[in-house]
Amino acid sequence: MSDSEAPPAVAPEGVSGARGLPQEALEIASGYAFAGSALDLGVLLWDGRCLPDARIRIPLPVLNRHGLVAGATGTGKTKTLQLIAEQLSVQGVPVFLADIKGDVSGISAPGVSNDKVLARAQEVHQEWTPTACPAEFYALGGMGKGIPVRATVTSFGPVLLSKVLQLNQTQEQSLGLIFHYADQKGLELFDLKDLRAVVTFLTSDEGKAELKGIGGLSPATAGVILRSLTAFEAQGMSPFFGDPEFDTSELLRTASDGRGTVSVLELPEVQDKPQLFSTFLMWMLADLFHDLPEVGDLDKPKLVFFFDEAHLLFTGASKAFLESITQTVRLIRSKGVGVFFVTQTPKDVPSDVLAQLGNRVQHALRAFTPDDQKALKATVKTFPNSAYDLEEVLTGIGTGEAVVTVLSEKGAPTPVAATRLRAPQSLMGPVDPATLDRAVLASPLYGRYAQAVDRESAYEKLAARDAAAAQAAAQTAAEAGRAPAKGGGRAKEEPSVVEQVVGSGIFKSLARSMGTQIGREITRSLFGTARRRR
């Protein structure tokens, strides 16, 4: 192509050697020439060449339009999260990261220079400087290293809990009925034994009448729910439910220097409980949805939430659960929150959710089997028309490279760009355990959430109710000159079902904690979670 034939396309900072580039490459580069604030992902790859001055970026205002980071294992998805999170923090945007493999904690420490990092920085014209981000570390229920994150059963709600307990649609509806009854009767459900006590009461002779007017609860369904609770508790899940309940507004904090805080949820201790941690992440998102005001489109998002191993959230999900996820993702954008799903292929995410994800970073895919080839073709179809042969590109790009398309400042998709990504400036790997422990203990939030607290709730109220009924019966008998014989009477001879449940050893040994405020509204969201007054 001659000088006179080169089109006047201009990349963000000018494209080096633009006159020697093919028309297609110039068009791609000009598609990322944004005027406002943007995050740098990397530089354009074309025909095997790295074009270091053709920068591939994401406009900061469109980060609330959500996104997808996908790719086969080992292709660099975690480093991409780290790269985006660092730049968001610098821009004053708080970030939430789920650390499932235990290798994201390094974002709190400066990176370490080595030949690979320096070579990558030189390739993409990156001024690489070791930089740590302000970070907080959390752990579900205190299992693992981090500030304990708990939710009350009432706040979690019946829809999310049904997902965790793997209930079917009928059982989910019955659980919703149980929650409704508990709300109406002032029986606070702080932890799992509160819920168990209510279910057991409603299936007793005394409790059956309580639900007749609103549909009733079959013994078979109640039995399934109780067995599911028992199995759930046997897996050590009780500590995740209780008080003090985590206030998700903590995720919106910024550091004293104005940088956004990176909240890292440490999940290695619960890797074998995928439904639990994926559903707990959805609770966090739903809780944020309740409490944040409508703000529309902002110059930058209030929070960007990265949902790692996203396929686990959707596996085995009920129709109601999937509808709730779709609606939450669709509506939370107007609250200023961006959500990035991280998984292996786009097909792991339901189409209705995928349609909400405007920003895409697709790492390499493998095509070793017929299923792999089918997934590759399905992935290619989710991209806009491209100047690349995407099937060839996606199977040929290396670690730290990706195919990118994002939304422009006007909300239109940018051209598809094969991209060599920049290197994160924080530590690419975990910090040592002692450093992590010190960071957790030094946090101002540790004293607020570390110690589980107990208070009166459904468990105690039902026990007191049954004890009062037994005492009243004994007193009536005594006044009539028919005091119960030694060893007789309901309280001693035949304890009620509720007394048996609340008096058993397994319940006495459960950890208890402090929960939602006494004056909470019992209104329920898309997920059946309760709104808190803060």
Lowest mean pLDDT among 65-79, 205-219, 460-474: 205-219
**Sheet containing 147-149, strands listed edge to edge, beginning at the edge strand earlier in sequence:** 49-59, 38-46, 417-421, 401-405, 359-362, 67-70, 337-343, 303-307, 95-99, 262-266, 135-140, 147-149
AA identity, residue 471: Q
Q: What integer pLDDT is reported at residue 512 of this predicted model?
A: 35
Lowest mean pLDDT among 109-113, 291-295, 415-419, 505-509: 505-509
Q: pLDDT tier at 19 (50, 70, 90 boundaries)?
A: low
Q: What integer pLDDT is reported at residue 532 of this predicted model?
A: 55
**Mean pLDDT: which of 122-126, 521-525, 530-534 is highest?**
122-126
pLDDT(525) > 80: no
Share of the chain above pLDDT 70, in %: 86
Q: Which helix (H) or strand (E) holds 184?
A: helix 169-184
**Higher local confidence (pLDDT), 253 or 465:** 253
List, as one string, the DSSP characters of 441-470: HHSTTHHHHSS------HHHHHHHHHHHHH
Distances from the Cα of 193 to the Cα of 153, 247, 267, 268, angstroms: 10, 22, 24, 26
pLDDT(483) > 70: no
Q: What is the pTM of this model?
A: 0.83
Average pLDDT on 380-392 reads 90
pLDDT(9) > 60: no
Each residue's pLDDT tens digit, 389-403: 999 999 999 999 999
- Backbone Cα Rg of the chain: 27
Q: pLDDT tier at 213 (50, 70, 90 boundaries)?
A: low
Average pLDDT on 183-208 reads 90
Q: pLDDT tier at 440 (50, 70, 90 boundaries)?
A: very high
* Overall size of the chain counted in residues: 534
Average pLDDT on 226-255 reads 92
**Higher local confidence (pLDDT), 97 or 203:** 97
Average pLDDT on 337-363 reads 93
Q: pLDDT tier at 116 (50, 70, 90 boundaries)?
A: very high
Average pLDDT on 49-53 reads 88
Q: Quote the DSSP letter at residue 409.
A: T
pLDDT(297) > 60: yes
Lowest mean pLDDT among 9-23, 226-240, 374-388: 9-23
Residues facing residue 12 across a β-bridge: none
With CA atoms as reference, report the closest residue to 523 among 513, 531, 515, 533.
531
Residues facing residue 404 across a β-bridge: 361, 417
Average pLDDT on 522-534 reads 53
With CA atoms as reference, report the closest residue to 90 among 218, 334, 254.
254
pLDDT(491) > 50: no
Average pLDDT on 281-303 reads 91
Q: pLDDT tier at 422 (50, 70, 90 boundaries)?
A: very high
Q: pLDDT tier at 517 (50, 70, 90 boundaries)?
A: very low
